[in-house]
Structure 1
Amino acid sequence: MTLVGTVRKNKQILPANMQAHKERAVYSSNFAFSKEATVCSYVPKKNKAVIMLSSLHMSPIIQSNKETAKPEIILYYNKTKSGVNNMDKLLAEYTVKRRTNRWPLALFYNIIDIAALAAYIIYMEHNPQLVSSDRRRKFLKSLSLQLCGKNIEERSKNCIVTSKLHVRSAMQDVLGQELRPSISFGYATYKSQTRRDSTGRVAVVGSCYLYRELKRKQRKTRKACTNCRKPVCDEHAVTRPTCNICFERCN
């Protein structure tokens, strides 16, 4: 396996004669060799240098039949780079990448992008009749729905997940069907009568009466006791587990 590519000019390991300066003639080339790789610096314009690194080329071969006198490394790079550049251009147009400091996640994002592009190319080879300008967008949308549809359908059966308004709305858009609000064990009436604010969250019902009695202070809460309907915070509330029978009953 060999490597041929460009090198940034700000790398400290590069020799000084590889950089662009006024004394270097246009279309001139400088080479540096090691046992493993070759570095080539070519001047296409005045005060500008293109630096290449190659582990394939080990000799200073230069194109002699033309005025530009390009090195063989640059000719090889120009001949073979189009596939990678076109792929990068297509991946940047539709991508799942998100900003992250975790390199395995960044690698996973790139794998998904490349796999989706490869699937689109194979699909178009078998469906050449599709000529619309947004055919790739439609294909990726259909692909994403098929990949996540089964998982979303399973999650829609979970009472806890569908009890959130914004999650339930997103699931309804994907599945194309209306989901009734899920109710959990022990407080069906309470869930159906909860008020919500402009953001879709459960509205504040008051301050915890137990915290107020103990601390003589107020602690606002969005929860209320299912029996006495008094406001209660997480610290003074009890979370009850749900069995499989009641879980199926609430769906």
Structure 2
Amino acid sequence: MDRKFTSLATTAELFEKKLTVVGTIASTRRDVPLELRPQSLNKSLPGTIRFAFRDKETLVSYVPKRNKVVTVLSSQHRDIQVTEDKPEIIMYYNSTKAGVDTLDKCVRQYSCRRSTRRWPMAVFFNLIDICAYNSYVIFCKTNESWTAQHPKRKSGRKKFLKSLGKELCKINMENRSRYKGLNKSYAAVLRIFGYNCQQGEAITRGSVIKEPEGPATRAAIKKLPKKGRCFVCPRSEDRKYMKICNQCEKYICPRHTASEEKNIVRTCSECNK
């Protein structure tokens, strides 16, 4: 466990759930006794070891060299064992600490994270990344043929994540394709993935100006700007609106809107003549 998250309270709570913890702990925490802090051990000789015990936790401070102190908290070890002039807790931590760093490196290669200021979303993105990598590891262990076809682990993981993303979106895309009044831009994107959907006639903000001929491509999807000047009003007024006439596909203001039904079907005064 990382030193930022390691604490006696967290260790005790995890131990009640039958989970043990071995990790470094910040020496500035209140949980660390004064005798195990760097202030008391900085002048000690290299190789100095001090232990502290509680009900189910063990704290050890080790001085590998002068002016450096390493403090480790463990709920798995209860014995004072020293191997090669190092505590057994330190040896165990050094042999297992690379797993977290390796996972972080693998997760950063292909991530679904987006910049956000909401910490629940950041935690959610991290959970998705970790779950996706764990599922890939399980998939490789249960499908040896996949591993043989993709000797390069990086390329195999990329294909796996693509297929996983499509499978996760499959149900949502199928439901969207059944909508009768589907937005044109959504309909064009769904056609890229092979769904036949009914396209709505309404032209709203962000909809497609012209439906691409033949197989839809991402380059053919062109969106309207968010706002535009009413083509009937004089240019001196310079008023911009988001409403568009369904017939001439030009921006119109409320004053020059001839007919409107539920803010969807609109006709300008020029087309209504």
Report the Cα distance in structure 1 between the residues aligned to 2:171 and 2:260, rounded to whole angstroms: 33
Q: Secondary structure at the match of 1:134?
A: helix
In 2, are the aligned partners of 1:156 and 1:162 still within 8 Å (CA)?
A: no
Q: 2:223 is matched by which residue type in structure 1? A: G
Match of 1:19 among 17, 21, 38: 38
Match of 1:148 among 158, 166, 169: 169
Determine the structure 1 residue equivalent to 2:68.
48
Determine the structure 1 residue equivalent to 2:54.
34
Report the Cα distance in structure 1 between the residues aligned to 2:109 and 2:121, rounded to whole angstroms: 20
Worse overlay, 10-19 or 47-56: 10-19
The verdict on how the C-alpha distance between 1:82 and 1:115 changes in structure 2, with shifts beyond 3 A counting, is same
Match of 1:112 among 116, 124, 128: 128
Q: How does 1:165-180 map to 2 (within 5 A)?
A: 167=186, 170-173=189-192, 175=193
Mark the runs of 5 or more structure 2 residues left unpaired by the alignment. Answer: 1-17, 212-221, 265-273
The verdict on how the C-alpha distance between 1:204 and 1:111 changes in structure 2, with shifts beyond 3 A counting, is closer
- Shift of residue 172 of structure 1? 4.8
- Shift of residue 23 of structure 1? 0.6
Matched, 1:71 2:87: yes
Mark the runs of 5 or more structure 1 residues left unpaired by the alignment. Answer: 243-251
Aligned residues: CA RMSD: 4.1
Match of 1:240 among 248, 262, 266: 262
Aligned length: 223
Determine the structure 1 residue equivalent to 2:23.
5
Determine the structure 2 residue equivalent to 1:123.
139
- Shift of residue 100 of structure 1? 4.6
Q: Secondary structure at the match of 1:31?
A: strand
- Shift of residue 230 of structure 1? 7.3
The verdict on how the C-alpha distance between 1:183 and 1:14 changes in structure 2, with shifts beyond 3 A counting, is same
- Shift of residue 131 of structure 1? 0.9
Calculate percent identity across the aligned residue pairs.
Answer: 31
Match of 2:240 among 220, 228, 237: 220
Q: 2:24 is matched by which residue type in structure 1? A: T
Q: Secondary structure at the match of 2:86?
A: coil
Could you report, residue by residue, the CA deviation over 1:35-55 in whole angstroms, capped at 9, with x for unpaired residues? 242221112233222211112
Q: 1:11 is matched by which residue type in structure 2? A: R
Could you report, residue by residue, the CA deviation over 1:130-182 in whole angstroms, capped at 9, with x for unpaired residues? 21341111111121112213322432454665324xx5565455x167989x3
In 2, are the aligned partners of 1:5 and 1:52 still within 8 Å (CA)?
A: yes
Q: 2:201 is matched by which residue type in structure 1? A: S
Report the Cα distance in structure 2 between the residues aligned to 1:230 and 1:200, rounded to whole angstroms: 14
- Shift of residue 71 of structure 1? 0.9
Q: How does 1:138-217 map to 2 (within 5 A)?
A: 138-158=159-179, 161-164=182-185, 167=186, 170-173=189-192, 175=193, 182-184=199-201, 200-202=223-225, 204-207=227-230
Could you report, residue by residue, the CA deviation over 1:181-202 in whole angstroms, capped at 9, with x for unpaired residues? x333699xxx8679xxxx8324
Q: Secondary structure at the match of 1:39?
A: strand
TM-score, scaled to structure 1 = 0.66
Determine the structure 2 residue equivalent to 1:248.
none
In 1, are the aligned partners of 2:42 and 2:68 still within 8 Å (CA)?
A: no
Q: Secondary structure at the match of 1:5?
A: strand
| Structure having greater relative contact order (Cα 8 Å, sep ≥ 6) | 1
Determine the structure 1 residue equivalent to 2:156.
135
Q: 2:32 is matched by which residue type in structure 1? A: L
The verdict on how the C-alpha distance between 1:59 and 1:112 changes in structure 2, with shifts beyond 3 A counting, is same
Could you report, residue by residue, the CA deviation over 1:204-231 in whole angstroms, capped at 9, with x for unpaired residues? 5424979x9xxx9653113245589771
Report the Cα distance in structure 1 between the residues aligned to 2:26 and 2:181, rounded to whole angstroms: 52
Report the Cα distance in structure 2 between the residues aligned to 1:240 and 1:116, rounded to whole angstroms: 43
TM-score, scaled to structure 2 = 0.62
The verdict on how the C-alpha distance between 1:5 and 1:219 changes in structure 2, with shifts beyond 3 A counting, is same
